[in-house]
Chains A and B, each alone.
Chain A
Amino acid sequence: MTKRYLDYLDQLEAEAIHIMREVAGQFEKPALLFSGGKDSITLVRLAEKAFRPGKFPFPLVHIDTGHNFPEAIRYRDELAERLGEKLIVRNVEDTIKRKSLSEPKGRYASRNALQTHTLLETIEEFGFDACIGGARRDEEKARAKERIFSVRDEFGQWDPKRQRPELWNIYNGRITKGENVRVFPISNWTELDVWNYIKREGIELPNIYYTHERECLVRDGKLMAWSDFIYQEPDDVVVRKQVRFRTVGDMTCTAAVESIAHDIDGVIAEILESKISERGATRIDDKLSETAMEDRKKGGYF
């Protein structure tokens, strides 16, 4: 008898495809949240595997803070074009104007929290009942407790005490009108799994994931990409560094890491060597309090 052996990446892929198809089968108006970062790029590849040669049963939706890396935005538009899939972009800028929201000020100013307002507005505007996202349980301790189908109330709020138990491969997506479900197909993947998958699949990424020279502000020991959006103090020092990004989010809260990795093998080698976790190395927003991520999730963040 032939030995039937499924590599771990194939197993993770099969699980994620199954989850995406459950979304397609159980919901009327799903969406895939797409930021141009490596995790959501992975989701798009998984959607191709789940639904080709058909079209995706959902649009790609980007909540644009207006403070994104131009490389990621360019990649986003080219990808949607190449795939022939629908892309919906909603801007945090518009929400700020329409709702007269105040922008956070000062040293740690970021639109990261305001993104939640635009996300919830967009969900309401299109009546999305499920939003697929690229969050992983290995990122953060609050996310380690997250279900794959995560029910949110009409305010988008996560209530850890109301979570539904998830058994076998059966996902309960039943909701009442107004509620929605956030779905995380790559929950069981780690940062390294994502990179190994990108390598195996030969997926192209925005070039900021690989080493390049960039002007950076040194803040709390972290390298912040110098841009018009970043808060500056008189004694801030701008340095030129050889860096890359381990995660790509809003420019105001995503730090670069010093790196010489110019290709995917170099990136994987660096992650294997790294003594700092992905979010620990790169995210300013998680450091603001012990439960920053948990609090954001309760407020409707994904």
Chain B
Amino acid sequence: MDILRFITAGSVDDGKSTLIGRLLYDTKQIFADQLEAIESSGRLNEDGQVDLSLLTDGLKAEREQGITIDVAYKYFSTEKRKFIIADAPGHIQYTRNMVTGASNSNLSIILVDARKGVQEQTRRHSIISSLLGIPHLVICINKMDLVGYDEQVYNQIIADYKQFAKKLNAKDITFIPVSALKGDNIVEGSELTMPWYQGPSLLEHLEQVPVSQDFNLDDSRFPVQYVIRPLTAEHHDYRGYAGKVISGTYKAGDKVTVQPSGQTTTVKSVELGGKVLEEAFAPMSVVLQLEDEVDISRGDIIVKAAENLEVAQEFEATVCWMHNKALKPGAKLLLRHNSTETRCVVRNIDYKIDINTLDHLEDVDQIQLNDICRVQIKTASPLLLDKYEDNRSNGGFILVDETSFATVGAGMVSEIEF
């Protein structure tokens, strides 16, 4: 059994909470006491049934003020897979929350109201999913019950979406007609209501999407997090480099290079918890022992010698700004990439991305909360970067305010200059 991490997007009116509630309810992941709690709230839907959308309701402040605080995580599993849902609010002012949820997701469910068709919201969520490199998109055309389960309506929305999706960098797009309220095509099929639809239900699709291929196993990257030195009689000379294989594979005998120093050596053993493993691959957390004594500390990256990763201090990146204080050219920030932290300066804002159209808006002098832009960054120390589109695990970084230490931006490397 493996794990699929996905995000749900769409405004509240599109039935996102009902969809999540339905997935949990129909897969029997809701406990009686949780159901009782929402039943006792006395809120029923238009069919006089329990309002499943209340299951995703969160904090007191949210209920009181109707504000939504960041992302909530929900879990369910079937015999085939474990699922982690990043439940992010969908409004434009919550772009940063969607980016947060999308950063770890393999799949995006985008809800479309069958009565309204492709909206600005649909385009925006698709664009963000595409910018964040989410490999699989599922366009759920919801509220089919309100359009008489009409196949023509469904086909028209697919045609409209495909026209728009030409400019997206999306590899795998699936369309599914559903009614989250009635439960058509969510967990069960829709033979009675939509006999014209031959594809899988949403859950069947979520169970089938291949996720193992989403890990990059070609470019070997091992950022060192911590050096294990027991200094005991038994392990007097032991020196193990603890970290996560964020991409690629490692085994004993592999020739490796340590960056940024450029020293080369050979992997002596791959271990976990004191036991030797035959091989480590992404996303495993392991310990590497090396043949030669080389100087390695936290933040260094061990790569396969043949793949000589480049070291850069200047690069271009797509940044989603996540803070109320505007970002201006010349801003000095902390940048965290894997286990490395360094100072950086945002030298120039090249353009802002219109997240409804993907158009470039030039001559912008500052970037506001929830804006996505292209910037040039220079760092104080060298970083070991990949382009985000080549390696999602080694191409992302965060920006941190120097005084408040708040996380203020999410960045994705787009061009590296040497």
- List the interface of chain A (C-beta within 8 A of B): 3-8, 10-15, 17-18, 21-22, 24-25, 48-55, 57, 137-138, 141-142, 144-145, 160-161, 163-170, 172, 174-176, 187-188, 190, 192-193, 274-277, 280-281, 290-291, 294
Contacts and interface: CB of A to CB of B under 8 A. Distances in A.
A45 to B, nearest CB: 9
Nearest to A165: B100
Interface residues of B, number: 72
Contacts of A192: 77
Contacts of A54: 228-230, 235, 238, 240
B281 A4 contact: yes
A14 B285 contact: yes
Given A54-B228, A55-B230, A167-B103, A144 B285 contact: no
14 contacts: A6-B283, A7-B1, A8-B1, A8-B2, A13-B285, A18-B244, A55-B230, A141-B57, A145-B70, A145-B71, A160-B59, A165-B407, A188-B75, A277-B31
A129 B72 CA distance: 25
Contact of B73 (A5, A137, A167, A276): A137
Nearest to B41: A290
B246 A169 contact: yes
**What's the dominant secondary structure at chain A's contact region?**
loop
Contact of A161 (B61, B82, B284, B396): B61
Contacts of B70: 145, 160, 163, 165
Interface of B: 1-3, 31-34, 57-61, 69-75, 77, 81-82, 84, 96-97, 99-100, 103-104, 212, 215, 217, 225-226, 228-230, 232, 234-235, 238, 240, 242-244, 246, 249, 272-274, 279, 281, 283-285, 298, 322, 334, 336-339, 392-393, 396-398, 400, 405-407, 410
Contacts of B103: 167-168
B273 to A, nearest CB: 4
A7 B33 CA distance: 31
A77 B405 CA distance: 38
Contact of B284 (A10, A172, A274): A10
Residue among A24, A48, A137, A165 with max Cβ neighbours from chain B (10 Å): A165
Given A17-B285, A172-B400, A49 B31 contact: no
A27 to B, nearest CB: 11
Contacts of A169: 104, 244, 246, 338, 393
